[in-house]
Amino acid sequence: MNSRQRSRRVFTVESGLKADTLQIKLGPTLAELDEIPEICRNEVAEWNEHVKRLGELLFGLLCEGLGLATERLKEMSFLEGRMMVGHYYPYCPQPDLTVGITSHTDPGPLTILLQDDKGGLQIKHGEDWVPVKTVPGALVINIGDVLQILSNDEYKSVEHRVLANSSEKPRVSIAAFFSAGERDKLYGPFPELISPQKPPRFREFTYTDYITRFFTKQLDGKTLVNYYRV
């Protein structure tokens, strides 16, 4: 399924995914206005501006956390690729038999997620699944696989899943995924982080190769992070 590339509605009821999804390209350029449902057109355009600003701030902090120049992730075009995915999880009368979204890590560097008050998002901590508390107005920030690779394992991508919605009201969440704007450049651990004591743990790849493997699951049975691990 190549559905993350443009705005469209996908209704999937196969096992392991019980959500109705609306995807809209935010960047490098916002989707054509007629591809964005009229009811939320202005809000999506405004959200895009907020996501860009917050993304820039977070990328800066994450770079500083690694001892890198603040602009490094921005320079590598990771602020440019932005995709908004709105999930709608209908009421599931038998939540023990399925899940909302199966366990996964996000492929990009960072995800900004807004969830409502229904709950159901969980992160894996050791062997346990830990619920992510719903806090009104709060955003959840996920580190994704490519940031684990660029940081040479200093930051870890977070495994997460969403339980099927047992509340009678639907659950809604809105994720903004960042990705590389320049798809054919080589990406790998930041050279500044490499030393004889800390050799690169990953080989270089183009973002085109990376994202194609993610969507087509050509990973030799490995996770995305472990596929590029040396």
Ligand X SMILES: O=C(O)CCC(=O)C(=O)O
> Which residues lie near Fe ion (CB under 5 A)?
106
Strand order of the β-sheet with 99-104 is 99-104, 160-163, 121-125, 128-131
106 touches ligand X by CB under 6 A: yes
145 touches ligand X by CB under 6 A: no
In the structure encoding, which two tokens stand for residue 90, read together? 């209908």
Strand partners, 129: 124
In the bound state with ligand X, the residue whose beta carbon lies nearer, of 30 and 121, is 121
In the bound state with ligand X, the residue whose beta carbon lies nearer, of 63 and 163, is 163
* Rounded alpha-carbon distances, angstroms, from residue 75 to 63, 71, 72: 11, 6, 5
In the bound state with Fe ion, the residue whose beta carbon lies nearer, of 80 and 106, is 106
73 touches ligand X by CB under 6 A: no
158 touches ligand X by CB under 6 A: no
Count of residues in contact with ligand X, rule CB under 6 A: 11
Stretch that binds ligand X, among 26-34, 113-121, 189-197, 204-212 (CB under 6 A): 113-121
87 touches ligand X by CB under 6 A: yes
- Spatial neighbors of 29 by CB under 8 A, at least 6 apart, are none
In the bound state with Fe ion, the residue whose beta carbon lies nearer, of 78 and 190, is 78
In the structure encoding, which two tokens stand for residue 24, read together? 């809209």
Helix (H) or strand (E) holding 89: strand 81-89
Cis status of the peptide bond prior to 95, with omega within 30 of 0: no
Binding site for ligand X (CB under 6 A): 85, 87, 101, 106, 113, 115, 121, 160, 162, 173, 175
